[in-house]
């Protein structure tokens, strides 16, 4: 069964450093998303991406964040200068049937900022 994959599974970084989180969505999907979940809290939307551009972003997704689809398979989230409060699980998701279709999540990257 096709699935979303993410790397790395765990990233530890120092405050102020840049991190890139990588995702490979399900191959025939066209809609891509990043969500995050701070420990003990609910899953929160960060950004959606379609047709090589951002279609929507949340207030959390400020200038420190960017997304890119550098090739036909990868979808990346970059945080330019990490803060302590960026520590969270970051989930990539993809959807194939349309913007209101079911979204399938990857296993997540646990980001720890020290």
Partner 1 sequence: RKEVEQDPGPFNVPEGATVAFNCTYSNSASQSFFWYRQDCRKEPKLLMSVYSSGNEDGRFTAQLNRASQYISLLIRDSKLSDSATYLCVVNGHNTDKLIFGTGTRLQVFP
Cβ pair 6, 108 in contact under 8 A: yes
Question: Which CB, 3 or 85, lies closer to partner 1?
Answer: 3
Positions in the binding site for partner 1 (CB under 8 A): 31, 33, 35, 41-45, 48, 55-56, 58, 89, 91, 93, 95, 99-108, 110
Least CB distance to partner 1 at residue 16 (A) = 26
Least CB distance to partner 1 at residue 36 (A) = 11
Fill in the DSSP letter of residue 41. S
List the 75-79 sheet strands across, edge first. 5-7, 19-24, 75-79, 65-68
């Amino acid at each position: 069964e096709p699935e979303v994959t993410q790397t790395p599974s765990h990233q530890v970084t120092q405050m102020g450093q840049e991190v890139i989180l990588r995702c490979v969505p399900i191959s025939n999907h066209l809609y891509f998303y990043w969500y995050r979940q701070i420990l003990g809290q609910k899953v929160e939307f960060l950004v959606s991406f379609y047709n090589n551009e951002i279609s929507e972003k949340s207030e959390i997704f400020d200038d420190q964040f960017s997304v890119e689809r550098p090739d036909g398979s990868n979808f990346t989230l970059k945080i330019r200068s990490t803060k302590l409060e960026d520590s969270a699980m970051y989930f990539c998701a993809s959807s194939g049937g349309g913007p209101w279709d079911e979204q399938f999540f990857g296993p997540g990257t646990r980001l720890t900022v020290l």
